[in-house]
Amino acid sequence: MAARKRCLPAANGAPDVPPPPARKQQIRAGGERHVAALILARGGSKGIQLKNIKTLAGVPLLNWVLRAAGDSGVFHSVWVSTDHDEIEKVAKSWGAKVHRRSPEVSRDSSTSLETIQEFVRQNPEVDVICNIQATSPCLHPFHVKEALEMITQQDYDSVFSVVRRHQFRWQEVKKESGELTKPLNLDPANRPRRQDWNGELCENGSIYFTTRERIMKDGLLQGGKVGYYEMLPEYSVDIDVDIDWPVAEQRVLRYGYFGRVTPEVVSLMFCNVSGCLTEGRIFLSVSGDEMVSINTRDTAGIRMLQKEEVEVMLLMSSEDPVTQKLVDQLSKRTGCKVLQVGEEPLNDLKVIVEQRKLEWKDVAYMGNDKADVNCLNLAGLSAVPGNAPTVAINAAKYTCHAAGGMGSVREFAEHILLQREKAKSKMEQDRIDCSKK
C-alpha cells in the first residue's frame, strides 16, 4: 500500500543535486515553517453546477478533502479559496478558514497559480503551501503526511501526486491535412506486455506541495528540486463532468477516508422513528386511532443489520404523540426495542452505551433534526435522511440520498455493512503483509 516517492530533474534541466545550505533560511525564527492547505473551490464550475459542495456519498464533495487534511495533523492552517457564499458557508461549517478571492482571480480564464499567488501575498506567514484538489475525494491523511515529508525532511522544493498508467498513446490524426497517426510511447512491432512495462507517471491532480519562494519568485507549482509522490490507482479519483459522478461515488464508498473511527466494530445502532423510519407524519383515523407508514425497504435494512449481529434500537421522542399500542406494533414489526428519549437524546443513550461497555465509536446513530446533533457528532458512524435540515446534515458523517420513510434507513444499513466489509478486507491484507515480513 505504500506509495513511491521519487525525484525529478530540476525545472531548468540541471542535474538533481542537494540544495545549498542557504535554503534553510526559509525556516522562520521559531524553527518551524508554517504549512498551509489550500483548496480552490470557485463557484462557477461549468461542468457540474456548484460541484464543490454537491453531495458525494453522503458528504459535500469539498468536505472529503477537508476531512483528510484536518485529520492529517500536519497543517498549521486549512483554507478554502472561493468566490461563492454557499461554498464559504460549507467550508466554515467544517472548520476551514476562507480566502475570499478577488474578482481578478475568479474569472473563467483565471488559473490556479494566480489564485494561489494571491493567497500567498495576503498570508505572509505561510511558507509551504499544499494545493489540494476538491475533486479528488479519495485522498487520505497518510498521502498528505508522506508527501509533506519530502518537503520538510528531504529538502524538495515541490512535490506533486501521480498515478502510474499503462496506456498506449497515439498522436491525434488531423484529417484535413491528410496526416497519418503515429505512436507516441510504443513500438507497434514490439508491443510490451503489461508486466514487462513500468507504465507512465501521470498527474492525478490530488495534491501539489510547493514553497512560497517557488510560487512568488519563480511563478511555478513545480519548480526547483521536484519530487513526485505516487498514489495507487484506487485513490486516484477525479471528477470533471456528470458521467464521473456515479463512478466516483462507488469508488469513494470503498476507498474514501471516513475519519479516524473504526466502523468495523459498530455493534449497536440507534435510529429515530419519526423522520427516519417514518416520514415524520402520524395519521389519525375517524375513530382517533394513530397510524404511521413504514417502508418495507427500511425494515429489510434493519433485518440486514440484525443478521450481522448489529443490535438496532428505535427511538421515540417524548414530544411525539404516540400510543403504547403503536410502540408495541413497531417493536413487533421490526424486532427492535423501542426507547422513549427526552429533548436531549444523548442523556438517555449514554447510559445504554456504558451499560454495554461500548464506546461511541462502536455506535451508529441515525437522526433527523437539531436534537440529534450531539449524538450524530459522537457516533462512529452517523447519518441523516436526505431531507433533514442543514443543522443535522452538517453534524452527520453520511447524508442519505433517500428521504425519511423512503428507504433512508436501508441505505444507511448498507453503508454500515460496506464499511465493515472494507475493514475486514484491510485487516486480512494487514495479516498477509505481516506474514511476509
C-alpha to C-alpha distance for 155 and 193, rounded to whole angstroms: 37
Q: Are 65 and 107 in a shared domain?
A: yes
Residue 129 lies in a domain: yes
Q: In the 8-state DSSP scheme, what is residue 344?
A: S
Q: Are 203 and 283 in a shared domain?
A: no
| Residue 233: all three cell numbers together | 490507482
Asked if residues 158 and 210 have their Cβ atoms less than 8 Å apart, the reply is yes
For residue 152, what is the domain's CATH number? 3.90.550.10
Q: Are 106 and 225 in a shared domain?
A: yes
Residue 216 lies in a domain: yes
Asked if residues 276 and 413 have their Cβ atoms less than 8 Å apart, the reply is no
Q: How many domains does the chain have?
A: 2
Predicted pLDDT at 150: 95
Q: HSE, CB side, 13 Å, CA atoms: give it for residue 59.
A: 30
Query: 4, 165, 191, 260: which one is catalytic?
Result: 191
Q: Are 107 and 205 in a shared domain?
A: yes
Predicted pLDDT at 47: 64
Residue 436 lies in a domain: no
Residues spanned by the domain of 358: 263-425
Predicted pLDDT at 328: 76
Predicted pLDDT at 333: 80
Residue 290 lies in a domain: yes
Q: Which of the listed residues 239, 255, 271 is the one where a domain comes to its end?
A: 255
Non-local (6+) Cβ contacts of 244 within 8 A are: 238
Report the alpha-carbon angle 316-317-323, nearest 5. 65
Residue 82 lies in a domain: yes
114-148 burial by CB neighbour count: b if 16+ within 10 A, else e? bbbbbbbeebeebbbbbbbbbbbbbbbbebbebbb
Q: Is 121 a catalytic residue?
A: no
Q: Are 229 and 292 in a shared domain?
A: no
Q: Are 202 and 303 in a shared domain?
A: no
C-alpha to C-alpha distance for 248 and 235, rounded to whole angstroms: 10
Q: Are 355 and 311 in a shared domain?
A: yes
For residue 374, the tally of other CB atoms under 10 A from its CB is 18
Query: What stretches in the chain show pLDDT beneath 50?
Result: 1-2, 7, 9-30, 263
For residue 307, what is the domain's CATH number? 3.40.50.1000
* Residue 6 region by backbone torsions, left for phi larger than 0, else alpha for psi between -120 and 50, else beta: beta
Report DSSP letters for 77-112, one per residue: EEEEEES-HHHHHHHHHTT-EEEE--GGGSSTT--H
Backbone φ and ψ of 227, nearest 5°: -125, 155
Residue 162 lies in a domain: yes
Could you tell me where the DSSP H helices lie in 159-243? 212-213
Backbone φ and ψ of 361, nearest 5°: -70, -15
Residue 67 lies in a domain: yes
3-state SS, residue 434: helix
Asked if residues 282 and 329 have their Cβ atoms less than 8 Å apart, the reply is no
Query: Among candidates 219, 215, 68, which has minimal Cα distance to 127?
Result: 215
Asked if residues 132 and 206 have their Cβ atoms less than 8 Å apart, the reply is yes
Q: HSE, CB side, 13 Å, CA atoms: give it for residue 393.
A: 19
Q: Are 280 and 222 in a shared domain?
A: no
Q: Are 250 and 269 in a shared domain?
A: no
Predicted pLDDT at 418: 84
Report the alpha-carbon angle 320-326-328, nearest 5. 120
Q: Are 278 and 235 in a shared domain?
A: no
Question: For residue 301, what is the enclosing H or E element?
Answer: helix 296-307
Q: Are 215 and 344 in a shared domain?
A: no
Asked if residues 6 and 50 have their Cβ atoms less than 8 Å apart, the reply is no
Predicted pLDDT at 49: 77
Q: pTM for this one?
A: 0.65
* Residue 268 region by backbone torsions, left for phi larger than 0, else alpha for psi between -120 and 50, else beta: beta
Residue 183 lies in a domain: no
Report DSSP letters for 265-296, one per residue: G--EEEEEIIIIIS-S--EE-TT--EE----H
Largest CA distance in the chain: 89
Q: Are 203 and 321 in a shared domain?
A: no
